[in-house]
């Protein structure tokens, strides 16, 4: 179960992890901008990364680092994405790992690197090097909160969580920090998510679990339909809890999977909720589809529609925009059979609008959390997508982002 009391402990909630977040001068704001997360012992490691063909240098380096299934530290920065920076950018990403390895007396190949911020700008390596060294000196079991603050960009807050469960009769902990607020679209996003656990699990099973869960969590959110160059989610499992190592699927694996699923879906909703300028969290639940991918396609079509998103910002129950987005999703449908409801109140059925309780619907539209139910009436598959509204503030934030 989630531990609200320990949520701020984030990645240091599980045994055997330390973290730090420091100011290195990479962000123009002068806020915390370099984070370091370290496991006291080598950990089983897994990662998922952006599917954008223009992948940033740290993504390329980190993909190599997780290939052997073992890692021990993460170094991340905000303020500069180190994307579209050529051979020098790749060299700088590797230097991040080298510097962290030297500061921590670890192997560079066991270091994950991550960056977020403006594309096309080279990392200021003098500041980065000093920041990594400073972070290594400040590592502590209370450092997760600062680490979380050091990876955010346009986020209004860092996302952190703590989770406790039992695996093999042994208490096991999970923790996480994440950032993500804009350039969020399926197949990952401008999102960095770092998850730690003191559970013991085989690295191949860990990777399988993360990859599967990503499909129903991080790949089910959209803020603006733009796919980033830098996103990644990683999991470190260091085994410090002392549970029997999970080597095959079964009861222990199921318990681990359930915990990781809760964390990833919970963080996904937090990221969607904190979309740039967002005032509402929109949950789009598509049922009655022929398969999961049809359901996801319909949900994403609605989630990425600027007209739908602005209607909900204006608290206008304009169901026409929703059914329009369903219709152009490219999924076979019979309009006369499709049903749409807002907050449980039917608004579309039998090919036309439904007479509704306007007062009750007004209450739905004024709420922070709004559920859009879409029944395709063509099968048994379903999918849930999370997004947010578009406000005036979204345009302002992105119009001024580079300056």
Residue 119 is given by DSSP the state: T
H/E element, 63: helix 57-66
| Chain centroid, CA 309 distance in Å | 20
| Chain centroid, CA 83 distance in Å | 19
Strands 34-49 and 232-237, by their bridges, are antiparallel
Which residue is it, tokens 């979309």?
275
Cα–Cα distances (Å) from 278 to 3, 91, 158, 189, in that order, read: 26, 37, 15, 16
Secondary structure of 325-364 in HEC code, one letter for each residue? HHHCCCCCCCCCCCEEEECCEEEEECCEECCCCHHHHHHH
How many Å apart are CA 343 and CA 10, to the nearest integer?
32
| Catalytic residue, candidates 50, 85, 154, 190 | 190
Which residue is it, tokens 């890692």?
71
190 tagged catalytic: yes
Reference 198, options 236, 169, 162; nearest CA is 236
Other beta carbons within 10 Å of 208: 15
What are the helix (H) ranges across 171-328?
Answer: 203-214, 251-273, 292-303, 306-313, 319-327
Q: Is residue 126 classed as helix, strand or coil in its secondary structure?
A: helix
Residues ≥6 apart with Cβ < 8 Å to 236: 17, 37, 39, 43, 44, 45, 71, 72, 74, 194, 195, 196, 197
**Which residues does the annotation mark as catalytic?**
190
């Amino acid at each position: 179960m989630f531990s609200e009391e320990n949520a701020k402990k984030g990645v240091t909630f599980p045994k055997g992890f330390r973290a730090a977040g420091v100011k290195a001068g990479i962000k123009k704001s002068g806020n915390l901008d370099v984070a370091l997360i370290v496991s006291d012992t080598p950990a089983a490691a897994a990662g998922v990364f952006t599917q954008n063909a223009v992948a940033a240098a740290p993504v390329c380096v980190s993909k190599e680092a997780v290939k052997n299934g073992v890692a021990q530290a993460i170094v991340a920065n905000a303020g500069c994405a180190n994307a579209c920076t050529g051979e020098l950018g790749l060299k700088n990403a590797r230097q991040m790992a080298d510097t962290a390895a030297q500061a921590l007396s670890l192997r560079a190949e066991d270091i994950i690197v991550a960056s977020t911020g403006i594309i096309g700008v080279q990392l200021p390596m003098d500041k980065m090097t000093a920041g990594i060294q400073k972070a290594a000196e400040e590592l502590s079991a209370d450092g997760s909160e600062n680490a979380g603050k050091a990876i955010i960009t346009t986020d209004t807050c860092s996302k952190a969580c703590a989770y406790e469960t039992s695996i093999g009769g042994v208490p096991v902990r999970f923790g996480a920090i994440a950032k993500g607020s804009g350039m969020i679209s399926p197949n990952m996003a401008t999102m960095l998510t770092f998850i730690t656990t003191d559970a013991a699990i085989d690295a191949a099973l860990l990777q399988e679990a993360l990859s599967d869960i990503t499909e129903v969590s991080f790949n089910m959110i959209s803020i603006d339909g733009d796919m980033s160059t830098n996103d990644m989610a990683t999991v470190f499992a260091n085994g410090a809890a002392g549970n029997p190592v999970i080597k095959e699927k079964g009861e222990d694996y199921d318990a681990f999977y359930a915990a990781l699923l809760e964390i990833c879906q919970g963080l996904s909703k937090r990221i969607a909720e904190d979309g740039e300028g967002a005032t509402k969290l929109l949950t789009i639940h598509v049922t009655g589809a022929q398969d999961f991918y049809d359901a996801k396609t319909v949900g994403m079509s609605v989630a990425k529609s600027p007209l739908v998103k602005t209607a909900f910002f204006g608290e206008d129950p304009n169901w026409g925009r929703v059914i329009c987005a369903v219709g152009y999703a490219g999924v076979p449908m019979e309009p006369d059979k499709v049903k749409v409801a807002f907050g449980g109140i039917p608004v579309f059925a039998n090919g036309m609008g439904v007479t509704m309780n306007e007062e009750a619907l007004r209450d739905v539209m004024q709420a922070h959390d709004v559920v859009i139910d879409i029944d395709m009436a063509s099968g048994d598959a379903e999918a849930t997508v999370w997004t947010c509204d578009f406000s005036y503030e979204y345009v302002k934030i992105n119009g001024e982002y580079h300056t």
